[in-house]
Chains A and B, each alone.
Chain A
């Protein structure tokens, strides 16, 4: 791209893709914005009219909104905690040479290929079911009262399912980062008298910091919009104990047929995601610069 002409050509050649992507983004966004200022309920067709910020007012003052917001943050935070810590531990284990390493690595990665709905169903009916579930069977084996996961600790159950799905992703990224750690550095630390724990704290963890930030960033993007797991297992319940923002918007739109209110919720979610992204990018920018 040296000359003016090649630069102009490059722009022209790129423009269809850029324009398409831009439209793909802007049309739904503008339509959502537009709907969010309308009274637009599918149960009352033909009554659409401009109502200003009323939809936003209703959505933001809805007590369910704050519960949903808290649930969303707990869900994201809890899952990140489990996947990052678990991912580091698993990556450390998988980095060791042992018999059947290839197979085990494949098995560890497998959950990532399972669809969210399917994995949620498997967890709900085969593992966490209070009567037929594997966990209940194990509990009874030891003479304990089986836990009714989705009734007693619904949000934690959802976090477990989501974490199970995302653990392979974290493990994979962290494992590759771990493998890129220079062997001579480890040996140097060993000669310098650092034990296994010191080596982990002073050498491995700083080396992994970039990978960890990448894991956190990417997972947060996807975890803010967890939906299928909730729909399949708890339907946001009991009450609204497992309702996150995404699910709340879904209820507005498709259970109450309030398109206007749901659109307002969607815009709120976009703003929230951007706030989260802003802080994340700052955190990561610092970490990636090094």
Chain B
């Protein structure tokens, strides 16, 4: 019970248009990730769905009902904020119970729901603590707990992991994905980190300057990006985007080839170049090479590949996995 439809939704602050016009369909139970560079309007879009920001035009339909001008609390959504926004003077219990208390539910019912949520999120031992006495990950879980007790139609996450360190972020990513499988509730997740988008989403919405560039499953976006922006944004390390003569040879303005789709060899290949910086990650090696007539090309290869700075090198792109883009940036 949580399908959300955006119809021609737009937003402008004064005369500057932040989101020109967006149509989007989010199905019940889907994990949708809005991803894009900072300032692309993804947080604004989320806040508009939440009701914290007014629409300048269009309609937001939740479960078949037009909620465009409904108050945030009436929309049946709950949100996890970037700063967690926990109430500092309340205990963990008080924080999680707050939405239920505001809903006017009975004490015994509240108690049961809070304990259930605490159990799911491993917070049972921390119910008497205040947010100030918790670690970042625990605070994050309290914020999620406060969101799930309301049994909302959908969860909204606004960059929830950006305040955590890398290791914890990996953990929380798993926990949130797990939670989604447990609850099967619609989730909308905003992030600027394409790794989070790729690993968690059922459906990724790539936003750029307030426009939707492409919508699709992570592998769809990876395999067939519609345009240069999506091609460059999804995938790590970034896709090599080659312009000029080499691109023209393939009848394209921009030629895209992912680092993992280039074969590297010390003896023979289509392109010749020199090795620049090599990054050893253990499992993989990223080699930044300078290819003659093309420029900087990044190659991803296995962890045991050994090179020296300045060593001549030969590269061969996989012809089946070349992405060709026209002058308008769209795929050909």
Residues of chain A whose beta carbon lies under 8 Å from any beta carbon of chain B: 182, 184-185, 187-195, 198, 202-203, 206-207, 209, 290
* A203, B78: Cβ atoms closer than 8 Å: no
Tell me the minimal C-beta distance from A181 to chain B in angstroms: 10
Among candidates A191, A195, A203, A209, residue contacting B87 with C-beta atoms closer than 8 Å: A203
Complex alpha-carbon distance, A202 and B161, angstroms: 27
Main SS at interface, chain B: loop
B113 at the interface (CB under 8 A from A): no
B-chain residues with CB within 8 Å of residue A187 when the two chains form the complex: 52, 72, 79, 81, 85
* B89, A188: Cβ atoms closer than 8 Å: no
Residues of chain B whose beta carbon lies under 8 Å from any beta carbon of chain A: 50-52, 71-73, 77-79, 81-83, 85-90, 98-99, 102-103, 130, 146, 150
Complex alpha-carbon distance, A191 and B52, angstroms: 8
Tell me the minimal C-beta distance from A185 to chain B in angstroms: 5
Task: Known contacts A184-B81, A202-B98; decide if A193 and B103 are in contact (CB<8 Å).
Answer: yes
Tell me the minimal C-beta distance from A110 to chain B in angstroms: 33
B-chain residues with CB within 8 Å of residue A192 when the two chains form the complex: 73, 78, 98-99, 102, 146, 150
* B73, A185: Cβ atoms closer than 8 Å: no
Task: Known contacts A184-B81, A184-B82; decide if A191 and B89 are in contact (CB<8 Å).
Answer: no
- 28 A-B pairs within 8 Å (CB atoms) are namely A184-B82, A185-B85, A187-B79, A187-B81, A188-B81, A188-B85, A188-B87, A189-B87, A190-B72, A191-B50, A191-B52, A191-B72, A192-B73, A192-B78, A192-B99, A192-B146, A192-B150, A193-B73, A193-B99, A193-B102, A194-B73, A194-B98, A198-B102, A202-B87, A206-B89, A207-B88, A209-B89, A290-B89
Complex alpha-carbon distance, A188 and B87, angstroms: 9
Q: In the complex, how many residue pairs between chain A and chain B have their CB atoms under 8 Å apart? A: 61
B-chain residues with CB within 8 Å of residue A203 when the two chains form the complex: 87
Task: Kindly report which residue of chain B lies nearest to residue A183, judged by CB atoms.
Answer: B85
Complex alpha-carbon distance, A27 and B99, angstroms: 60
Complex alpha-carbon distance, A77 and B194, angstroms: 59
Main SS at interface, chain A: helix
Most chain B CB within a 10 A radius of its CB, from A182, A189, A192, A203: A192
Complex alpha-carbon distance, A202 and B94, angstroms: 11
A-chain residues with CB within 8 Å of residue B130 when the two chains form the complex: 290
A-chain residues with CB within 8 Å of residue B87 when the two chains form the complex: 185, 188-189, 202-203, 206
- 18 further interface pairs, Cβ-Cβ under 8 Å (given A184-B85, A188-B86, A188-B87): A182-B83, A184-B83, A185-B86, A185-B87, A187-B72, A190-B52, A191-B72, A192-B78, A192-B99, A192-B146, A193-B102, A195-B102, A198-B102, A202-B98, A203-B87, A206-B87, A290-B89, A290-B130
Complex alpha-carbon distance, A182 and B83, angstroms: 9
A-chain residues with CB within 8 Å of residue B81 when the two chains form the complex: 184, 187-188
Complex alpha-carbon distance, A202 and B97, angstroms: 12
* B52, A194: Cβ atoms closer than 8 Å: no
Task: Known contacts A198-B102, A206-B89, A207-B89; decide if A191 and B79 are in contact (CB<8 Å).
Answer: yes
* A190, B89: Cβ atoms closer than 8 Å: no
B-chain residues with CB within 8 Å of residue A290 when the two chains form the complex: 89, 130
* B85, A182: Cβ atoms closer than 8 Å: yes
Most chain A CB within a 10 A radius of its CB, from B50, B78, B81, B85: B85
Complex alpha-carbon distance, A187 and B98, angstroms: 13
A-chain residues with CB within 8 Å of residue B73 when the two chains form the complex: 190-194
Tell me the minimal C-beta distance from A229 to chain B in angstroms: 37
B-chain residues with CB within 8 Å of residue A202 when the two chains form the complex: 87, 90, 98
A-chain residues with CB within 8 Å of residue B79 when the two chains form the complex: 187-188, 191
Complex alpha-carbon distance, A206 and B98, angstroms: 14
A-chain residues with CB within 8 Å of residue B78 when the two chains form the complex: 191-192
B-chain residues with CB within 8 Å of residue A184 when the two chains form the complex: 81-83, 85
Task: Kindly report which residue of chain B lies nearest to residue A188, judged by CB atoms.
Answer: B85
A-chain residues with CB within 8 Å of residue B98 when the two chains form the complex: 189, 192, 194, 202
* B102, A194: Cβ atoms closer than 8 Å: yes
Complex alpha-carbon distance, A195 and B146, angstroms: 17
Sorted nearest first, the 9 A-B pairs with minimum C-beta distance are: A193-B73, A192-B99, A188-B85, A184-B85, A206-B89, A193-B102, A184-B81, A185-B85, A191-B72
